[in-house]
Structure 1
């Protein structure tokens, strides 16, 4: 769900299946990650390489890694 501030009030216009009277906690989303264009490109390159490794079968479930450290 998204809300916008208008005239100092939060305005929310999203359909929901929540029951009437449900209290919802909102938090501010900071969409700026402070990365430079070069840092963002390096991040995307690293993520692409990681997914290629996963697709090639060079990955372990997190549970296996955790079991190996305990």
Structure 2
């Protein structure tokens, strides 16, 4: 079956083109998730960085989000 595209209007899904589906046809709709474009090497590096970050947080080596945001804002 071909992909059907729709958009939400007033809380309803509206198809962009007519279909030839029989009246009363039930469809299961799933939101498209294209994922990301990471290579396996990039994904591995990301997981390693996240693991290291989690270890540091458990060891009490962390910085409050407010501090990080304040520092970023001051860089303007």
Structure 1: where are the runs of 5+ without partners? 1-5, 11-21
Choose which of 60, 63, 66 in structure 1 pairs with 2:66: 63
Q: TM-score, normalised by structure 2?
A: 0.49
Structure 2: where are the runs of 5+ without partners? 14-30
The answer on 1:30 being equivalent to 2:18 is no
Q: TM-score, normalised by structure 1?
A: 0.52
CA RMSD after TM alignment: 3.1
Q: Please give the alpha-carbon distance, in whole angstroms, between the structure 2 residues aligned to 1:42 and 1:63.
A: 26
Bigger RCO (CA 8 Å, 6+ sep): 1
